[in-house]
Amino acid sequence: MSGLFTSIDSMPAWAQSIAKVNPVTYFIDVMRMVVLKGSGFTDILPQLIIISIMAMFFNAWAILNYKKTS
């Protein structure tokens, strides 16, 4: 449900909201913009910011949940 094979716009509303949580969705948007449209850095900046925020969140979550077993 990342929009790779089908467009996210053609999905039902509940599926679109799930797809927005998936970081792969934003990566696919960036790849389409760069390859098909020839977009520059300023065009893909919003998607990169979202991906960066998700990366920081999930890394912080992983660090907080890490427990040393020995």
- Helix H or strand E segment including 27: helix 23-32
Query: Using CA atoms, how far apart are residues 59 and 48, in angstroms rounded to an integer?
Result: 16
Please name the residues in contact with 33: beta carbons below 8 A apart, sequence gap of 6 or more.
39, 43, 44, 47
> Which pLDDT score, from 0 to 100, does residue 54 have?
95
pTM, full prediction: 0.77
3-class SS at 53?
helix
Return the domain boundaries, the chain: 8-65
- Model confidence over 7-42: pLDDT tens digits? 888 889 998 898 889 899 999 989 989 998 888 999
Across the chain, what does the average pLDDT equal? 88
> Which pLDDT score, from 0 to 100, does residue 70 have?
63
- Model confidence over 40-63: pLDDT tens digits? 999 999 999 999 999 999 999 999
